[in-house]
Amino acid sequence: MKSRIRYDAGMSKTGFYTHSDCLRHDMGRGHPECPERLSAIRDRLLASGVDQGVVEFIAPLADTDDLLLAHTPRLIETVYELNQEVQDDISRGGRGLAHIDPDTALNGHSLSAALRCVGAALSATDAVLAGELDNAFCAVRPPGHHATRSRSMGFCIFNTLAIAVRHALERHGLKRVAVIDFDVHHGNGTEDILANDERVLMCSTFQHPFYPYCGTEDVPANMVNVPVPAYTAGSEIRQLMARHWFPALEAFQPEMIFISAGFDAHREDDLGQLGMTEADYRWITEQLMDLARRHAQGRIVSCLEGGYNLSALARSVEAHVRALSGL
């Protein structure tokens, strides 16, 4: 994707981070978290012309020190050991697929893909904090928000977003960071990693009761969790966000906003039963940009999480990136 961008008034300088390794992570035929998700997004951005409004970057690899910002050494060892088993199996002519849980597996490219996800989010954070970009979207997979400090699960290997948040706090010295998660599933991993960190306010909506079946009891003080019953319309979800998220975010005055951008709450996505549409994703993005402009010098880094209906995913990402770039 080549940018031939002209910056008109009202446009943002938006980074688009991805890597071809993220297309090679493949958990087997029929798995909804499939490489075609990223191809569909790229096609849609090209067809709609939204690619003209972003600057593309190739994601670097993260390293172990980056992973340790949010994960235990044991989790990292487990993933690297599993990757070694996969590589050994491939060299013996095997299929090279090892499961972490029934839904989550590594192939020969998964570790690289997961490290590119983290590298994307960290580079995007650095560029936004340096003022080189206004905001950024990381079109990466595997997703991350179910990975806890000590456990990969639910299609997720490392918690990309939580690592980037910790990077902003620990290495850039930010004092207040907001995390937004509008994926249909509760971001239990991000909650686990960032719970009770007073420098973080996390606001989320998620279908409940639903996988991973948590987020409603013993909610940490820095979390604004808004569980939503199945078949709730996008307009109702907007009202819940306006009532629960935005007053808390205004009071918190974040210096930067991170978005766990899952699009599986779309009404056409069969993995969940919520009623979001592209217009709702555009609305949320614009609300967050308005908040970021007032408190956070416009600084937003958004990372792809879920979204499994390829057409709905691609249209929703287009709406999100179109809003981020001010096109």
Question: What whole-number distance in Å separates Cα of residue 297 and Cα of residue 276?
Answer: 28
Q: Report how many residues bind Zn ion under the rule CB under 5 A.
A: 5
Tell me whether residue 123 or residue 232 sits nearer to Zn ion (CB atom): 232
Nearest residue to Zn ion, by Cβ distance, number only:
306
Stretch that binds Zn ion, among 16-24, 134-142, 224-232, 300-308 (CB under 5 A): 300-308
- Kindly tell me which residue out of 306, 308, 313, 320 binds Zn ion, with binding defined by CB under 5 A: 306
CB of 60 to Zn ion, least distance (A): 26
- Kindly tell me which residue out of 215, 234, 262, 298 binds Zn ion, with binding defined by CB under 5 A: 262
CB of 250 to Zn ion, least distance (A): 27
Beta-strand relationship, 256-261 and 300-304: parallel
CB of 192 to Zn ion, least distance (A): 16
Which of the following is catalytic: 71, 146, 295, 320?
A: 146
Stretch that binds Zn ion, among 117-125, 214-222, 254-262, 292-300 (CB under 5 A): 254-262
Footprint of Zn ion on 267-286 (CB under 5 A): none
- 183 sits near Zn ion (criterion: CB under 5 A): yes
Question: Binding string, 209-248, against Zn ion, x = CB under 5 A?
Answer: ----------------------------------------
- Kindly tell me which residue out of 185, 186, 266, 322 binds Zn ion, with binding defined by CB under 5 A: 185
Cα-based distances in Å from 326 to 43, 125, 197, 279, 286: 20, 19, 32, 15, 9
User: Cis peptide before 254, with omega less than 30 degrees from 0?
Assistant: no
Question: What whole-number distance in Å separates Cα of residue 121 and Cα of residue 57?
Answer: 11
Stretch that binds Zn ion, among 70-78, 182-190, 231-239, 253-261 (CB under 5 A): 182-190
Q: Are 124 and 133 contacting, i.e. CB atoms less than 8 angstroms apart?
A: yes
Question: Binding string, 25-44, against Zn ion, x = CB under 5 A?
Answer: --------------------
Long-range contacts: 216-221, Cβ < 8 Å, 24+?
220/191, 220/195, 220/196, 221/196
CB of 206 to Zn ion, least distance (A): 8
Stretch that binds Zn ion, among 87-95, 171-179, 215-223, 263-271 (CB under 5 A): 263-271
Tell me whether residue 83 or residue 225 sits nearer to Zn ion (CB atom): 225
Tell me whether residue 122 or residue 276 sits nearer to Zn ion (CB atom): 276
Long-range contacts: 290-297, Cβ < 8 Å, 24+?
291/246, 291/249, 291/250, 291/254, 291/257, 292/135, 292/254, 292/256, 292/257, 295/250, 295/253, 295/254, 295/255, 296/178, 296/254, 296/255, 296/256, 296/257, 297/131, 297/255
Tell me whether residue 181 or residue 318 sits nearer to Zn ion (CB atom): 181
Q: Is 109 a catalytic residue?
A: no
123-137 exposure pattern, b = at least 16 Cβ within 10 A, e = fewer? bbbbbbbeeebbbbb
Footprint of Zn ion on 126-155 (CB under 5 A): none
Stretch that binds Zn ion, among 19-27, 56-64, 79-87, 259-267 (CB under 5 A): 259-267
CB of 108 to Zn ion, least distance (A): 25
Binding-site ranges for Zn ion (CB under 5 A): 183, 185, 262, 264, 306
Residues with a catalytic annotation lie at: 146
